[in-house]
């Protein structure tokens, strides 16, 4: 498996970003796009607990990848304040996955400003991600086929990234946006095609914004308590936009229906297909 470093863009200009990364679909880390956000200085645990502590949130665990589980399904609900207490004690590796912060908490939402990039970036679909040591977001690409700008506010975590052309070597499951391989501990006996994988690895730190092009596979590993938000920008291609609509409203619902109907045997069928 070949893992390259992601380019770090220190001096941003829109034309170069568009030409070198956006149009070619190559990820990069943008430095300082978020330095004017109040979130970077304000979002300590006490402040988050004050603003969001009472909210009952659905949390995800590693079972995100277990047979029969749906993409984005949650495992447990609890108050955010209770979760933060458990994280402080190091007793919880659950994660908040894609919680619409601008919709559910206007005060925290106001601490996130624009990225000052010359693209149509959705202000409404701004999602919060929280996790801690031991937490992991398994392999997937984003179902709506948008470009993602993922900005870390606290802590650091590692992203593993692969282009869509690597789907075959990632044993992607049909009717889903999921792969069940683990690039951190690759099992080459079970998944020999993984040896041919070529992708990127990057450790993100507070203030870094990772650009994840449409349809890019990613697996995320938390090394410590980390808080991040992601912005989305619609792909300019109508065809890609339609693929996102199809994924969300047809493919995903079909997969959920089959999960309910056939459970484990539906998962085993998709797994067999992924080996072909």
Ligand X SMILES: O=C(O)CCC(=O)C(=O)O
Binding test (CB under 6 A) with ligand X, winner from 95, 173, 231, 270 = 95
Q: Which of 121, 197, 220, 221 binds ligand X (CB under 6 A)?
A: 220
Binding of ligand X at residue 74 (CB under 6 A)?
A: no
CB 212 → ligand X: shortest distance, Å?
7
H-helix or E-strand containing 157? strand 157-162
Q: Give residues 226-265 in contact with ligand X (rule: CB under 6 A).
A: 228, 230
Cβ of residue 97: shortest distance to ligand X, in angstroms? 6
Q: Tell me how far, at minimum, the Cβ of 268 lies from ligand X, in Å.
A: 26
Nearer of residues 233 and 266 to ligand X, judged by Cβ:
233
Instruction: Give 149's DSSP letter.
Output: E
Residue 131 touches ligand X, criterion: CB under 6 A: yes
39 Cβ contact list (under 8 Å, min separation 6):
108, 111, 112, 153, 229
Q: Smallest distance, Å, CB 138 to ligand X?
A: 9
Strand ranges inside 10-109, DSSP E: 28-30, 56-59, 76-79, 96-100
| Least distance from ligand X to the Cβ atom of residue 80, Å | 16
Of 50-58, 73-81, 106-114, 129-137, the window that binds ligand X (rule: CB under 6 A) is: 129-137
Give residue 8's Cα distance to chain centre.
19
What is the x/- site pattern for ligand X, positions 177-216, by CB under 6 A?
Answer: ----------------------------------------
162 binds ligand X (CB under 6 A): no
**Tokens at residue 255, please?**
């997969």
Minimum distance from CB of 261 to ligand X (Å)? 28
Return the residue matching tokens 């730190």. 205
Residue placing its CB nearer to ligand X in the complex, 69 or 193: 69
* Cβ within 8 Å of residue 228, ≥6 positions away: 128, 129, 130, 150, 151, 152, 153, 154, 157, 204
Strand 28-30 and strand 7-9: the pairing is: parallel
Residues 12-71 that bind ligand X (CB under 6 A): none
| Cβ atoms 179, 256 nearer than 8 A | no
Q: Which of 86, 118, 102, 119 is nearest to 37 (CA)?
A: 102
Number of H helices, E strands in the chain: 9, 14
Residue 129 as a binder of ligand X (CB under 6 A): the answer is yes
Decide whether 28 or 148 has the Cβ nearer to ligand X: 148
The contact set with ligand X (CB under 6 A) reads 95, 129, 131, 137, 142, 148, 150, 218, 220, 228, 230
């Amino acid at each position: 498996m070949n893992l390259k470093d992601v380019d770090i863009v220190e001096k941003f200009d829109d034309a170069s970003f568009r030409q070198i990364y956006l149009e070619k679909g190559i990820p990069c880390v943008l430095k300082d796009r978020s330095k004017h956000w109040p979130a970077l200085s304000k979002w300590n645990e006490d402040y988050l607990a004050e603003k969001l502590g009472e909210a009952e949130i659905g949390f995800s665990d590693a079972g995100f990848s277990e047979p029969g589980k749906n993409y984005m399904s949650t495992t447990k609900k609890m108050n955010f304040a209770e979760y933060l207490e458990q994280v402080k004690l190091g007793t919880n590796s659950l994660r908040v996955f894609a919680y619409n912060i601008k919709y559910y908490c206007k005060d925290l939402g106001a601490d996130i400003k624009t990225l000052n990039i010359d693209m149509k970036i959705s202000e409404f679909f701004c999602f919060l991600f929280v996790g801690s040591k031991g937490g992991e977001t398994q392999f997937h690409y984003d179902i709506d086929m948008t470009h993602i700008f993922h900005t870390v506010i606290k802590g650091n975590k590692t992203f593993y990234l692969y282009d869509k052309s690597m789907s075959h070597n990632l044993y992607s499951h049909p009717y889903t946006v999921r792969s069940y391989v683990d690039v951190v501990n690759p099992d080459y006996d079970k998944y020999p095609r993984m040896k041919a994988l070529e992708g990127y690895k990057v450790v993100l730190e507070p203030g870094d914004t990772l650009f994840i092009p449409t349809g890019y596979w990613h697996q995320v590993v938390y090394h410590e308590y980390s808080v991040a938000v992601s912005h989305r920008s619609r792909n300019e291609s109508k065809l890609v936009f339609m693929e996102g609509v199809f994924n969300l409203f047809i493919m995903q619902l079909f997969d959920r229906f089959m999960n309910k109907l056939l459970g484990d045997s539906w998962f085993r069928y998709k797994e067999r297909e992924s080996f072909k």
